[in-house]
Structure 1
Amino acid sequence: MTSPSPTPTSRSAPRQDGSRTPVPFWVAGTRRDSAQSTPITHPYDNTPVARAAVAAEADVADAVAAATAAAEPLARTSAAHRSRALDHVARRITERSDEIAELITAENGKPLRWARAEAGRAAAVFHWAAEETRRFAGQWHRLDTDPQSPGGTAFVARHPRGPVLGITPFNFPLNLVAHKVAPALAVGAPIIVKPAPATPLSALLLGDLLAETALPPGSWSILPVPNDRMPALVADARLPVVSFTGSGPVGRSIREAVPHKHVTLELGGNAAAVVCDDWSSPADLAWAAERIAVFATYQAGQSCIAVQRVFAHRTIAADLTERIVEQVAALATGDPREERTQVGPLIDEDAARRVERWVAEAADTGARIRTGGHRTGAQYAPTVLTGVPPTAKLACEEAFGPVLTIDEVQGTAEAFDRVNDSRFGLQTGVFTHRSDTAFAALAGLHVGGVVIGDVPSFRAEHLPYGGVKESGVGREGVMDAMADLTEPRVLAFPGVTL
């Protein structure tokens, strides 16, 4: 059965005004309205964007019941059927990418250039999932490998663990939803998405595209509900898998609340970049400074792999610092709807105030603010500090703002020790030309990923993505998520030789 051709939907994604009827949510692939709604405002100037209907308890109950009922039918659908549906979504995201980017900017506040990139990445996630659906298969094993073995063969298949609860954050309101939805549907697992209350619109628009496919009823639901109603969803025994991306305290509370469930957590980080002494030519330093400046402040620093800490070898630290300060000071800030803007606001004024407090705390304890260091509403100026004490929040917590610290180190060993001296371990960038340093970083850095010759702000949709320590449990990335959402089953044929 093929997915139907896309047809105009009766209620399209919201325009950027607050006067429309509340945007409906999705229960088992069907739109629903509610008597309750929440306003969505633009982070830059608090102008109304839309109102989003809030799912009632009865709607949530219906979604969970539908996901439970859909588990077997969806798992039995052919790979071709699911792949076509995922390919359709990838194509439609691409076709509507300008509209989607504007919506991301409206609800999240990220500049259009980054919103367009997010839309493109979300399309890639669904495209990869469509391809991997066709390749996702079991493995045959020999049973004559030991003298006492009876001989024969065995087949190891992977089956969905069951319906998935996907909980997503505000900072990538479409792509991080895609990373939950696409792998789940690829393996035939129903999914209920709970988007961040501040940014539900991109996820709801994704529902428009999923509704154009012929996936079985109950395969997916998108439920904007307040965070205080999340524990009940997490605890529901009919949702055996919880995939959460967000803050560390919330993630840990989920794992502690449901230790019997399969829980994947993508949490925070305070990503570092190490600049080695061999990265010393003017071209090298110019490249490192530009990349660090951009990716310390992209998404207003609201990315768990944004550059927060830089450790530069003493022989190049002064030159590199001046270059970074110059690059950061030159970044265009302001209204994210304008094409020139590189750094927009944080998600809200409270977030910007927190960053302001942390910078002030560092300055009060001896740090030097080299550029930035001031706030206007939800906008915090891109900021560089040196001499930040290691006990300051900017050094040991996740800033989640456009703030960067730079420290001088005596060598690579000290730099790696400083990177590892953290509760987090997501990714690290190492600027070096030496292959031995690259492999030393792979062996010695306690992180989930190392990027050579560039910043840590790197994620390929098909590679495993995640961290160690308090940066999370498990891995995302389409193929790894598909494996994570399934469990192996063994079919043995003792004495049967192929």
Structure 2
Amino acid sequence: MYTKVSGRKMLLGGEWVDRERTIEVRNPEDNQFITTVPAASSSDMEKAIEIAKEGAKMASNLSVHERMDILRKAAHLIEKEKEAFAYTIATEGSKTIKEARKEVERCIETIRLSGEEARQIGGETIAFDQAKGSENRVGYFYRFPIGIIGAITPFNDPLNLVAHKIGPAIASGNAIIVKPASVTPLSALKLAEVFCEAGLPKKILSVITGYGHEIGDVLVCHPDVQMISFTGGVDAGLAITKKAGLKKISMELGSNSPVIVLEDANVDDAVKACVSGAFWAAGQNCLGVQRIFIEESRFKAFCSRFVELTKRYHTGLKLNETTDMGPLITEKEAIRVKALIDKGIEEGATLLCGGERNGAFLQPTVLTDVHEKSELATEEIFGPVVLLFPFTNLDEAIEKANAVKYGLQAGIFTENIKAAFKAVAKLHVGGILINDSSDYRIDAMPFGGVKQSGIGREGVKYSIQEMTEPRVVCFQL
């Protein structure tokens, strides 16, 4: 039981509003009540879109230096409140306080990059006289904002992934409506407060809290929303593409990322990187290491060392400075992942360590002998589970790494430059890390995948490209 307290409001067209219907936000660690947020209705979303039509005009009329000033001020304000932001992330979500602090630092970088990239939006001249009969024509193209961006964000990076939508949208002169995950809305609302304080004109930004099945379709299907930027699961992404109609779509849909370890690799370096890559944020990470392919001559040594380090991984209270891994986002999710583990073991997999569940907590889990066509190996687990496979040669490892519907990022550990370049050429992914796990990203790089891992690229500069359109200008002299 708890005492009812005044809940957080949502930002609708620049105004903070509440609603009779609310959503409870709870700490997944112990299900403790934190606060409530409004459960927006479809009419709330329609109103936000109507206001954003005016906001889009205002945003496009902001000068570049005004956009830059707002983004710089926002980054400065987040810097001043770093610990408060980290605490919010760590209480409403799965991340430990140490993981949350790193997310806040990345958010600051994302917003700063957005301010810097605002000045870089440009075009180029066109040689119209390359076409016969156009000798007296000159011109160029430039990029202009597309209007209203609809952003749908997940729970696993509740601050920085929101920043990756808002920052580029403001930098490129668009209005944006954010629908954050209903289990982790507080970080997004806190970020919206910062932008209000930084001087962003009203009507440009809305953060609408609510259930996806009630307000999501309005945002996705509305003809006045010119682009949907979505980060989440494949099933939801496929549903959005069917409903959205003729508009721009950018999607990051996750993966079950592979790492290849050749016999010439430094095993200690590979193990350390892959343990961190597998269990960061309790494995709820689109870049998380899920499948590791180890050359047979090093397989036993790698498994032994990997299990040793995994057993040292401290699972516990998120605000404890010594904790390495917290809970999954809900107990329901922990039950789902535990069921996948149990099913894999029934199908013949060998459990090397972990696999125990207590509420939303699930111990870091390492499996071998997993059937390569099983759900564990072919789907995104999105939990603290990693699978170890032996292989005999690089061609075999690449074939197995590619034998799934995903292709976000991959890693390879080797001292052989030819082997590294072969992996670069043959792995069907959006990014390849040499002598690192798949779990690496900076906020300035083009980020996204192939196959069912997504459409388009994020990363501030590349998001701006997605959020703008070229306009050709031609003068006849």
**TM-score greater than 0.5 by the shorter chain:** yes
From 226, 231, 234, the equivalent of 2:211 is 226
For the 8 Å contact 1:25–1:54, the answer to whether it is kept is no
User: 1:60: Cα distance to partner?
Assistant: 2.2
Contact 1:18/1:51, CA 8 A, preserved across alignment: no
Return the alpha-carbon distance in structure 1 between the equivalents of residues 357 and 228 of structure 2: 37
> CA offsets, 1:32-87, max 9 Å, x none?
11112111111011111111122244432321111111212211210000011011
CA distance in 2, matches of 1:315, 1:96: 50
1:235 to 2:221 alignment: yes
| 1:308 partnered with 2:290 | yes
3-state DSSP class of the match of 2:100?
helix
Letter of the structure 2 residue corresponding to residue 91 of structure 1? H
Q: Which moved more, 1:138-147 or 1:176-185?
A: 138-147
State the partner residue of 1:410: 392
Match of 1:11? Answer: none
Aligned to 2:160, which of 165, 175, 197?
Answer: 175
Do the aligned partners of 1:43 and 1:348 also contact (CA within 8 Å) in 2?
A: yes
Superposition pairs for residues 56-95 of structure 1, below 5 Å?
Answer: 56-95=41-80
Residues 23 and 210 of structure 2 are in contact (CA less than 8 Å); yes or no, is this contact kept in structure 1?
no
Give the aligned residue type for 2:19.
S
Paired residues, number: 475
Give the letter aligned to residue 128 of structure 1: L
C-alpha separation in 1, matches of 2:389 and 2:113 = 39
Question: Does residue 403 of structure 2 align to residue 421 of structure 1?
Answer: yes
CA contact (8 A) 2:89 2:95 kept: yes
**Helix, strand or coil: the match of 1:463?**
coil
1:366 to 2:345 alignment: no
Q: Secondary structure at the match of 1:288?
A: helix
Look up the match of 1:452. Answer: 434
Q: How does 1:74-473 map to 2 (within 5 A)?
A: 74-145=59-130, 149-150=134-135, 152-229=137-214, 230-279=216-265, 284-473=266-455
State the match for 1:483 in structure 2.
465
3-state SS of 2:49 partner: helix
Distance 1:219 1:321 in 2: 52
The separation in 1 between residues aligned to 2:427 and 2:385, in whole angstroms, is 23
Work out whether residues 18 and 48 of structure 1, in 8 Å CA contact, stay in contact via their aligned partners in 2. Answer: no
- Root-mean-square deviation (Å): 1.4
Q: Is the 8 A contact 1:142 1:151 kept in 2?
A: no
Deviation at 1:294, TM superposition (A): 1.3
Return the offset for 1:109. 2.4
Structure 1: stretches of 5+ with no match in the other structure: 1-16
- Residue pairs, 1:5-84, within 5 angstroms: 19-84=4-69
Alignment check: 8 A CA contact 2:46 2:218 kept: no
In the alignment, is the contact (CA less than 8 A) between 1:67 and 1:220 conserved in 2?
yes
Give the secondary-structure state (helix, strand or coil) at the position aligned to 1:156: strand
Amino acid at match of 1:268: G
- Tell me, in whole angstroms, the C-alpha distance in 1 between the residues paired with 2:110 and 2:3: 31
Query: Structure 2-normalised TM-score?
Result: 0.97
Cα pair 2:221 2:245 within 8 Å, conserved: no
Counterparts of 1:258 and 1:453 in 2: how far apart (Å)?
Answer: 40
Q: How much does 1:160 deviate? A: 1.3
Q: Distance in 1 between matches of 2:381 and 2:387?
A: 10
Using the TM superposition, name which of 162-171 and 132-141 deviates more: 132-141
Provide the C-alpha distance between the structure 2 equivalents of 1:220 and 1:51, rounded to a whole number of angstroms.
Answer: 21
- 1:369-393 deviation digits (Å, cap 9, x = unpaired): 0000111111010010011001221
Quick check: 1:294–1:328 contact (8 Å CA) kept in 2? no
For 2:429 and 2:43, the matched residues in 1 are separated by 42
Q: Give me the whole-angstrom Cα distance separating, in 1, the residues matched to 2:240 and 2:43.
A: 23
| In structure 2, C-alpha distance between the alignment counterparts of 1:54 and 1:327, rounded to whole Å | 43
Contact 2:42–2:218, Cα closer than 8 Å, also in 1:
no
Q: Distance in 2 between matches of 1:147 and 1:323?
A: 68
Among all aligned residue pairs of Structure 1 and Structure 2, give the percentage whose two residues are the same amino acid. Answer: 35
Give the TM-score normalised by structure 1.
Answer: 0.93
**CA offset at residue 217 of structure 1?**
2.1
- The answer to whether the 8 A contact 1:139-1:155 is kept is yes
Of 51-60 and 366-375, more deviation after overlay is shown by: 51-60
Higher mean C-alpha deviation, range 28-37 or range 475-484 = 28-37
Q: CA offsets, 1:202-243, max 9 Å, x none?
A: 000011101112223211000001111211221111111111
Q: What is the deviation of 1:146?
A: 5.3
**Other structure's SS at 2:197 match:** coil
Tell me if the contact between 2:94 and 2:328 (Cα under 8 Å) persists in the aligned partners: yes
- In structure 2, what is the Cα distance between the partners aligned to 1:37 and 1:257? 27
The residue aligned with 1:6 is none
The CA distance in 1 between the partners of 2:58 and 2:136, in whole Å, is 36
Paired residues of 1:30 and 1:211 also in contact (CA < 8 A): no
What is the distance in 2 between the residues matched to 1:65 and 1:217? 13
Shift in alpha-carbon separation, 1:411–1:199, aligned structure 2, 3 A: same
Q: What is the CA–CA distance in structure 2 between the aligned matches of 1:263 and 1:87, rounded to whole Å? A: 28
CA distance in 2, matches of 1:18, 1:345: 25
Change (3 A) 1:416 1:125: same
Quote the offset at 1:476 in angstroms: 0.6
Residue 47 of structure 1 aligns with an amino acid whose one-letter code is Q
Q: Gaps spanning 5+ residues in structure 2: where?
A: none
> What is the CA–CA distance in structure 1 between the aligned matches of 2:3 and 2:263, rounded to whole Å?
54
* Deviation of 1:141 (Å): 2.5
State the alpha-carbon separation in 2 of the partners of residues 375 and 113 from structure 1: 23
Whether the 8 Å contact between 2:149 and 2:229 is mirrored in structure 1 is yes
Distance change >3 Å, CA 148–CA 439, structure 1 → 2: farther
Q: Aligned to 1:425, what secondary structure does the other structure show?
A: coil
